A and B are shown apart, each in its own frame.
Chain A
Amino acid sequence: MRKILIVVERARGALDETAFEMLSAARGLGEITVAAVLMGEDLGEPAAELARWFDEVHTFDDPRLGQPDGDFQARLLAPFVRREQPLVTLVPHTNTGMELAPMLAARVDAPLIADAVTLEVAGDGVRAVRTVLAGKVQASVSATGGPCGVLLTVRPGAFTLPDVPPEAAGTVHAEAIPDDPAPRRRFVETVAPDPGAVDISQAEVLVAVGRGIEDEENLDEVRSLAEAMGAELACTRPVVDKKWLEKSRQVGTSGVTVKPRVYLALGISGSFQHMGGIKGGPFIAAINKDPAAPIFDVADVGVVGDILDLVPLLEKKIRGRKA
């Protein structure tokens, strides 16, 4: 029986949910051995936890793996993947997964499908759906691998978590780590977030603004709207890239995770990296001048229009209603 390898990510020591989401994806493929691949330092505990879920757990336990280093990981895993000859290797489509997967794919000479949101077996290979063109188009793609199978990075949140641990009683295999390859990157420091920065993670109502605001000056309108609503101001990455708002207001996978009651999205297209930072299923309202903006697929209520016209009007009506 062929195997599926799942590369497990940990953030701040804890097992990332993506490991279990990918497990769901793999179990959906039928009778198949699902093996977790865990790299890091002092892996006893997380390996034992993973063994409750996975048929096999392969640990690479080494101080040199204490900080994830996709370059080192790819060179370390390549011989392992060649030995295991999996049908599929799943890697989370996260910052560290996006770093590892292309290097690993090139080293084991296997096709790589990026950012898959579905997964099925098709003939000797696999088929998956992924989004292209800023989330506006879905592409169905397929790949058939050689001895090392096919690699996929899987979008976080695309598969639901399994609810009960199946008590898989998996076996744990400590993999030997040779001296060669050696890491080629040197860790200097982790950058701590600025402790004095505004904290939007606890806000109950967020008014979020995206690139649609067009100009820094137009932010004043949005600020007064937020003030009228008693809401905190949030934004997308491009607004931070332009230095119009602080990084601590950026919602998303490379920003802050928020769990508000209400989220008002203004001039935001709705990329998965942005929406990935919004948890807890808030009520989402969106104003966007593009009726085909992906934000309207996930929002509860939408207005197709120009925020530069509508935001002042919205503020006026809200102030009127409150008075």
Chain B
Amino acid sequence: MEIIVCIKRVPDVSEIEVELDRERRSIVATDLDYDVNEWDNFAIEAAVRLKETRGARVTAMTVGDEDSEEVLRRALAMGADDAVHLMDPEFEGSDAWGIATILHHAIADRPHDLVLTGAISADQARGQVGGMLAAMLDIPMIALATDLSVEDGTATVRHEVEGGLERVEQVDLPALLTVQTGMNEPRYVSIRGIRKVARTEIPVLTAAELGLDPATIGAGAVRVSEEGLSLPTRGEGAEILSGNDDEVIAGLVERLHQQGGF
């Protein structure tokens, strides 16, 4: 069984005061930590577990710049057999459609029984690449998978559906699944683990090598254009309590009490 996992390197902004550049086109990216997209980490783990339990070859793929190589190495350290780096200046600025198009060209001509993506990427929060890729490959897709097993060319998938419910469905391979967080417990990646795969060759494929017409990808081909960014207006929200710890907590206790919090 051939499993392809699509992964992305994303910045962690959870504790960062985000600033915009002067043109309000992008964020000022100083001091940002990057890591593999949370959802994609569960997808890699799912693939590696299938490899361990029933045998499979796992290939991790990303569309991204040089720095993105680190998430591929991380996937190799987790147990992926191969990694493919889709990198070309022409790819820069691609929207979800562009990314799906690039992945489609990279996957269509190689064996793929199971294609896994994350449900959504933490930075863009679109949740589009997986579904678009499935339609382009014309293979069936199930979104938001929370459990997965494969037997005799059929995947049994539990996934999240409407109204907070979950449903179990079966689909014959090849198929694409988007993976929801919590599907498994992704294994820890040690520095030693990364070091072990430091020399593994990671082929880079460019637009030309993928037979991609540059006019269909990259910033010039976006279907959804970003006109500008803004920060949510502050001040309309919470009353922020000020003072030392004792004072703010006293204020909080007072308000919780007034509102019937205890």
Contacts and interface: CB of A to CB of B under 8 A. Distances in A.
A111 B221 CA distance: 11
Interface stretch (A52-60, A159-167, A170-178, A224-232): A224-232
Interface stretch (A27-35, A42-50, A79-87, A233-241): A233-241
A110 B224 CA distance: 10
A73 to B, nearest CB: 11
Contact of A133 (B27, B161, B170, B223): B27
A302 B256 contact: no
B255 A292 contact: no
Residue in B15, B123, B246 whose Cβ sees the most chain A Cβ within 10 Å? B15
A310 B11 CA distance: 28
Given A133-B27, A321-B253, A302 B240 contact: yes
Nearest to B252: A303
Contacts of A140: 226-230
Given A230-B262, A317-B249, A106 B165 contact: no
Contacts of A24: none
Contacts of A10: 162
Contact of A99 (B15, B96, B143, B251): B143
B96 A141 contact: no
Contact of B122 (A110, A134, A189, A313): A134
Nearest to A140: B227
Interface string A132-152: 111011111111000000000
Given A113-B224, A132-B125, A102 B144 contact: no
Given A113-B224, A132-B124, A292-B18, A95 B261 contact: no
Contacts of A112: 96-97, 128, 132, 223-224
B89 interface: no
Contacts of B143: 70, 95, 98-99
A184 B181 contact: no
Assign chain B's interface to a size class: 35 or more
B196 interface: no
Query: Chain A binding site: helix, strand, loop or mixed by DSSP?
Result: mixed
A131 B18 CA distance: 13
Contacts of A142: 224-225, 227
Contacts of B20: 137
Interface in B114-170: 119-120, 122-132, 134-136, 140-144, 156, 158, 160-170
A305 interface: yes
A29 to B, nearest CB: 18
A21 interface: no
A7 interface: no
Contacts of B253: 314, 317-318, 321
A301 interface: yes
Interface string A10-28: 1110001000000000000
B162 A68 contact: yes
B213 interface: no
Interface string A282-307: 01111101111011111111111100
B211 interface: no
A225 to B, nearest CB: 10
A191 interface: yes
A283 B257 contact: no
Contacts of B109: none
Residue in B17, B182, B228, B231 whose Cβ sees the most chain A Cβ within 10 Å? B182
A302 B241 contact: yes
Contacts of B246: 313
Given A238-B181, A243-B185, A290 B15 contact: yes
Nearest to B165: A190
Nearest to A13: B163
A259 B237 CA distance: 20
Contact of B123 (A114, A132, A322): A132
B238 A302 contact: yes
Contact of B158 (A105, A191, A256, A261): A191
B163 A12 contact: yes
A284 B256 CA distance: 9
16 contacts: A95-B144, A106-B135, A132-B124, A137-B231, A187-B169, A189-B168, A190-B167, A191-B165, A269-B14, A285-B255, A290-B15, A290-B16, A296-B237, A296-B240, A299-B238, A301-B238
Q: Which 8 A-B pairs have the closest CB atoms?
A: A102-B131, A11-B163, A111-B223, A106-B135, A302-B238, A99-B143, A241-B182, A184-B140
Given A137-B229, A301-B238, 18 more contacts: A70-B131, A71-B141, A106-B97, A134-B125, A139-B226, A141-B224, A184-B171, A186-B171, A190-B168, A191-B166, A285-B256, A286-B238, A300-B255, A301-B240, A310-B249, A313-B249, A314-B252, A314-B253
